[in-house]
């Protein structure tokens, strides 16, 4: 089967305190079946040729009446591609609710998403995102899904704990990450524990 090549895209240096890119906005109660529908859980995360399909189908679920996925029927990943043109997902409250599925944050990382921002996360999604070393879940002080629009140009300053919307010329506060960033950047909770001497 012929496959479309992944689009080239600049990614942020993991050591940088700044994350920049386009916003992709979704609504409240986006669950893990909307993030990566069950019918796409057939691919191996250990096989590079299969793994990229998780990126292709990330956030491709059908929204129900309780969810705003996706805003304006804009796909996270264009048809035929494996990676998104977007960099930062802005979600409403209770992002990642539903079943315990580590493939959900993994699919977003594989699609090229560098950060997720929401006022609240479902506990299991938050833990999977961090413990698996997939993606940084930033908590906002307000529901930015009601303010930011898809395609807005954003900048996350991890050091100052702010989100700058360059399109709207607005700045929004983010809650402190604590050790979350260190765990994600280490590649997950076990790698973090090894690097910090908690385990051999």
Its domain, for residue 109, covers: 18-195
CA atoms of 166 and 21, how far apart (whole Å): 10
Strand order in the sheet with 18-25: 136-139, 115-118, 88-90, 18-25, 153-157, 162-165, 170-173
Q: In the numeric block, which tokens belong to residue 121? A: 């996360």
CA atoms of 200 and 194, how far apart (whole Å): 6
Is the predicted pLDDT of residue 188 greater than 90, yes or no? no
Is the predicted pLDDT of residue 179 greater than 70, yes or no? yes
Q: In the numeric block, which tokens belong to residue 9? A: 């895209």
Report if residue 1 sits inside a domain.
no
Report if residue 157 sits inside a domain.
yes
* Phi, psi angle pair for 173, to nearest 5°: -80, 145
**pLDDT greater at residue 21 or residue 13:** 21
Q: In the numeric block, which tokens belong to residue 26? A: 């979704």
Residue 29 sits in a domain of what CATH number? Answer: 3.20.19.10
Report if residue 7 sits inside a domain.
no
Please report the pLDDT score of residue 114 as a whole number: 95
Number of domains in the chain: 1
Please report the pLDDT score of residue 141 as a whole number: 95
DSSP at 40: G
Range name among 66-70, 142-146, 165-169 with the lowest pLDDT average: 66-70
Whole-number percent of the chain with pLDDT over 70: 86
Angle of helix 123-131 versus helix 103-110 axis, rounded to 10: 60
pTM equals: 0.87
Q: CA 64, 89, 179: angle at the middle one, nearest 5? A: 120
pLDDT digits (tens, 9 = 90+) for 81-135: 999 999 999 999 999 998 888 999 999 999 999 999 999 999 999 999 998 999 9
Report if residue 44 sits inside a domain.
yes
Is the predicted pLDDT of residue 10 greater than 80, yes or no? no
Give residue 180's pLDDT band: very low, low, confident or very high (50, 70, 90): confident
Give residue 7's pLDDT band: very low, low, confident or very high (50, 70, 90): very low
Q: In the numeric block, which tokens belong to residue 196? A: 């910090």
> What average pLDDT does the segment 47-72 reach?
78
Q: In the numeric block, which tokens belong to residue 145? A: 């899904």
Number of residues assigned to the chain: 200
Is the predicted pLDDT of residue 72 greater than 80, yes or no? no
Strands (E) in 17-59, as ranges, are 18-25
Report if residue 11 sits inside a domain.
no
């Amino acid at each position: 089967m012929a496959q479309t090549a992944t689009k080239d895209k600049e990614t942020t240096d993991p050591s940088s305190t700044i994350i920049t890119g386009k916003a992709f906005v979704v609504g409240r109660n986006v669950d893990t079946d909307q993030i990566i529908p069950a019918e796409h859980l057939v691919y191996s995360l250990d096989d590079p040729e299969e793994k990229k399909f998780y990126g292709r189908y990330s956030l491709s679920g059908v929204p129900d009446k309780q969810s705003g996925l996706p805003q304006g029927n804009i796909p996270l990943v264009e048809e035929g591609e494996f990676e998104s043109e977007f960099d930062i997902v802005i979600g409403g409250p209770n992002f990642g609710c539903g079943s315990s599925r580590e493939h959900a944050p993994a699919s977003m990382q594989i699609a090229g998403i560098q950060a997720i921002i929401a006022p609240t996360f479902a506990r299991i999604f938050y833990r999977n995102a961090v413990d698996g070393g997939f993606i940084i879940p930033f908590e906002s002080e307000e529901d930015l899904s009601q303010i930011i629009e898809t395609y807005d140009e954003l900048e996350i300053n991890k050091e100052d704990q702010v989100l700058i919307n360059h399109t709207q010329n607005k700045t929004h506060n983010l809650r402190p990450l604590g050790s979350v960033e260190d765990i994600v950047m280490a590649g997950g909770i076990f790698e973090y524990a090894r690097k910090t001497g908690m385990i051999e």
